[in-house]
Amino acid sequence: MPSTVIVGAQWGDEGKGKVVDLVSDDYDYVVRYGGGNNAGHTIVHNGQTLAMRLIPCGIMCKTITPVIGNGVVVDPHVLANELKTLHDDGISTDKLVISGNAHLIMPWHVALDGASEKRLGNKKVGTTKNGIGPCYQDKVARTGIRVQDLLDPDVFRDKVTSVLAIKNLVLDKIYGLPTYSVDEICDEYAPFADMMRPYVTSTEHLLSHAIRDGKKVLFEGAQATMLDVDHGTYPFVTSSSCTAGGACTGSGLGPTQIQKVCGVSKAYITRVGSGPFPTEQFGEDGDTLRSVGHEFGVVTGRPRRCGWFDAVVARYATEVNGLTDMAITKLDVLSAFDTIKVCVAYDIDGTRVEDFPTDSTQVNNPNLKPIYEELPGWKGVDISGCRKFEELPENAQKYIHFLEQQIGVPVSIIGCGPDHDQTILHGWNN
Ligand code: GDP
Ligand code: IMO
Ligand code: MG
């Protein structure tokens, strides 16, 4: 059962792309199991940066079969751009496969995402406005259009006709937005059918046969635990199951086929969009994390909200994902500080709380205060060249040990810089 899930353990952008790229050489398949082009996964090789939205980061490795699983929502416009960028860079996409059961993002999903956010005003989720939520809404409502539907022009036209009968009313009567004609959509999407046809297959069977044949599967999580539609800070979440359980439903493999689940956390924490964020820093510390860590969104360019590492969140991520390991990225960014804070518990109305509250009124309680422990830093020491744990300054080693003790699982990967090679493997094994 040699499959591994790489899953975000915070609010996204933890460096999942880098971790996947780092370990993927040892796997035969890399599978995206959820989300869509709301994701932005950055990989850096010898100073060259590539930001992937939809196609798994494993595409970089020639021996890997990258899989877009059934749990993903696919905007064919974005897929077309991503394929072109890869081809322009001389990267082959011949091995890419896409599940026929993945849902398609349609133009009205994007329009409704923006309109819904506008209507919510200061209660908005702060979505990426890529149509992710509306597309998953249709999937669950059983009115979605899937990749397999696109491949048959008659089926596609039929589905678009049924869907538009309702969507056009919503667009026009509720939001005052332009409507779509069936012909215009069929014309717009016809070239995408030709583009996608060579890639579409039953990825569910493919993966299950691969496992039967002793192949190794790596799951590339998108978004993160705290953005999960069930386990995250609802309603300030995305619309998919980003946690490790989603790797099963989003790919067609069962839980007994997964052996290892590695969470990814930054050595501090960030969030994009609205919603609770107990350790957020509004002053100088937040600004320093943002500027030193280059904390601006890959997808929207928005400045990320920044704060100290939250061990309450990390322990929660360990529970809901069944983590076996944690990767801690961006440790190098903390070289900017004299001392470093870690939130070890919350004080809620005078009570010490060590488990992340699943009651949103508690999470949003204005009296929730992080309880910090302050650790000595390694200010000014450049750790970007460290490749072994022992090469880290003593206080950085102590910091990692402290996190391990707080989280309850080993930290087996440590990021010391954005480049693929700027990493310490600390007991990682597949
Ligand atoms: P993802 O969505 O989880 O894949 O993460 P993003 O790519 O959105 O954001 C992570 C950012 O941090 C990217 O710009 C990465 O290149 C960068 N990064 C990843 N690991 C490290 C690290 O250890 N140190 C530094 N300085 N940057 C890193
Ligand atoms: P990766 O995979 C960070 C956030 C959005 C918003 C909320 C809902 O790169 O870590 P959506 O467009 O999904 O309906 O937005 O989720 N969000 C992310 N934040 N990283 C991501 O992906 C995200 N994907 C969605 O900012 O708050
Ligand atoms: Mg990202």
pLDDT tens-digit series, residues 381-399: 999 999 999 999 999 999 9
Q: Which ligand is nearest to the CA of 39?
A: 2
Query: What pLDDT does 43 receive?
Result: 93
Query: What pLDDT does 35 receive?
Result: 98
Q: Is the pLDDT of residue 1 over 70?
A: no
Distance 77 CA to ligand 2 centre (A): 19
Instruction: Give the closest residue (by CA) to ligand 1 atom 28.
Output: 418
Q: Does residue 42's CB lie within 6 angstroms of at least one atom of ligand 1?
A: yes
Q: Does residue 415's CB lie within 6 angstroms of at least one atom of ligand 1?
A: yes
Cα–Cα dist 151/267, whole Å: 45
Between the CA of residue 206 and those of 150, 247, 389, what are the distances in Å? 21, 15, 39
Distance 51 CA to ligand 2 centre (A): 15
Which bin fits 330, alpha (ψ -120 to 50), beta or left (φ > 0)? left
Q: Which ligand is nearest to the CA of 240?
A: 2
Ligand 1 mutation target, pool 6, 14, 42, 411, most atoms within 8 A of CB: 42
Paired tokens of 215: 């192949």
Q: Which ligand is nearest to the CA of 335?
A: 1
Q: In angstroms, how far is CA 53 from the centroid of its own chain?
A: 10
Q: Which pLDDT band, with edges at 50, 70 and 90, does 280 fall under? A: very high
Comparing C-alpha atoms, which of 273, 285, 326 is closest to residue 14? 326
Instruction: Give the closest residue (by CA) to ligand 1 atom 21.
Output: 418
The number of C-alpha atoms within 13 Å of 32 and in the hemisphere containing its C-beta is: 32
Cα–Cα dist 305/336, whole Å: 17
Query: What pLDDT does 48 receive?
Result: 84
Q: What is the mean pLDDT of residues 143-162?
A: 98
Cα–Cα dist 259/3, whole Å: 6
Q: In angstroms, how far is CA 395 from the centroid of its own chain?
A: 30
Q: What is the pTM of this model?
A: 0.97
Q: Does residue 44's CB lie within 6 angstroms of at least one atom of ligand 1?
A: yes
Q: What is the mean pLDDT of residues 332-348?
A: 98
Q: Does residue 35's CB lie within 6 angstroms of at least one atom of ligand 1?
A: no
Q: Does residue 353's CB lie within 6 angstroms of at least one atom of ligand 1?
A: no
By residue count, the chain amounts to: 430
Q: Does residue 17's CB lie within 6 angstroms of at least one atom of ligand 1?
A: yes
The residue whose two tokens read 């996964």 is: 41
Q: Is the pLDDT of residue 183 over 70?
A: yes
pLDDT tens-digit series, residues 192-228: 999 999 999 999 999 999 999 999 999 999 999 999 9
Query: What pLDDT does 245 receive?
Result: 98
Q: Is the pLDDT of residue 47 over 90?
A: no
Ligand 1 atom with the smallest distance to the CA of 294 is 14
Question: Using an 8 Å Cβ cutoff, are 31 and 67 in contact?
Answer: yes
pLDDT tens-digit series, residues 245-254: 999 999 999 9
Q: Which pLDDT band, with edges at 50, 70 and 90, does 21 fall under? A: very high
Query: What pLDDT does 33 receive?
Result: 98
Distance 215 CA to ligand 2 centre (A): 31
Distance 44 CA to ligand 3 centre (A): 13
Cis peptide before 235 (omega within 30 of 0): yes
Neighbours of 285 (CB within 10 A): 17
Instruction: Give the closest residue (by CA) to ligand 1 atom 8.
Output: 13
Distance 246 CA to ligand 1 centre (A): 23
Distance 67 CA to ligand 1 centre (A): 22
3-state secondary structure the chain: CCEEEEEECCCCCCCHHHHHHHHHHHCCEEEECCECCCCCEEEEECCEEEEECCCCHHHHCCCCEEEECCCEEECHHHHHHHHHHHHHCCCCCCCCEEECCCEECCHHHHHHHHHHHHHHHHHCCCCCCCCHHHHHHHHHCCCCCEHHHHCCHHHHHHHHHHHHHHHHHHHHHHCCCCCCCHHHHHHHHHHHHHHHHHHEECHHHHHHHHHHCCCCEEEECCCCHHHCCCCCCCCCCCCCCCCCHHHHHCCCCCHHHCCEEEEEEECCEEECCCCCCCCECCCHHHHHHHHHCCCECCCCCCECEEECEEHHHHHHHHHHHCCCEEEEECHHHHHHCCEEEEEEEEEECCEEECCCCCCHHHHCCCCEEEEEEEEECCCCCCCCCCCCHHHCCHHHHHHHHHHHHHHCCCEEEEECCCECCCEEECCCCC
Q: Which pLDDT band, with edges at 50, 70 and 90, does 53 fall under? A: very high
Distance 348 CA to ligand 3 centre (A): 31
One fold for both 3-98+200-260 and 103-196?
no
Question: Which residues, other chains included, contact 126 with Cβ-Cβ below 8 Å and sequence gap of 6+?
Answer: 117, 236, 272, 273, 274, 275
Query: What pLDDT does 430 receive?
Result: 74
Query: Could you give the residue numbers annotated as active site?
Result: 13, 41
Cα–Cα dist 31/321, whole Å: 17
Query: What pLDDT does 382 receive?
Result: 98
Q: What is the mean pLDDT of residues 146-174?
A: 98
Domain range list for the chain: 3-98+200-260, 103-196, 265-425
CATH for 103-196 is 1.10.300.10
Q: Is the pLDDT of residue 175 over 80?
A: yes
Ligand 2 atom with the smallest distance to the CA of 38 is 24
Query: What pLDDT does 262 receive?
Result: 98
Q: What is the mean pLDDT of residues 133-156?
A: 98
Instruction: Give the closest residue (by CA) to ligand 1 atom 18.
Output: 418
Q: Cβ < 6 Å from ligand 2: which residues?
A: 8, 12-13, 38-41, 125-128, 130, 132-133, 222-224, 227, 238-239, 272-273
Paired tokens of 16: 């999942």
Q: Does residue 18's CB lie within 6 angstroms of at least one atom of ligand 1?
A: yes
What is the CATH architecture of 265-425?
Answer: Alpha-Beta Complex (3.90)
Cα–Cα dist 110/132, whole Å: 8
pLDDT tens-digit series, residues 70-111: 999 999 999 999 999 999 999 999 999 999 999 999 999 999
The residue whose two tokens read 């390991």 is: 325
Q: Which ligand is nearest to the CA of 225?
A: 2
Query: What pLDDT does 2 receive?
Result: 78
Comparing C-alpha atoms, which of 25, 194, 167, 172 is closest to residue 108? 167
Name the average pLDDT for the chain: 96
Cα–Cα dist 238/12, whole Å: 11
Instruction: Give the closest residue (by CA) to ligand 1 atom 27.
Output: 418
Q: Is the pLDDT of residue 337 over 70?
A: yes
* Candidates 3.40.605.10, 3.40.190.290, 3.40.50.800, 3.40.440.10; CATH matching 3-98+200-260: 3.40.440.10
Query: What pLDDT does 279 receive?
Result: 98
Q: Does residue 304's CB lie within 6 angstroms of at least one atom of ligand 1?
A: no
| Interstrand relation of 41-45 and 260-266 (parallel, antiparallel or unpaired) | unpaired
The residue type at 309:
F
Share of the chain above pLDDT 90, in %: 94
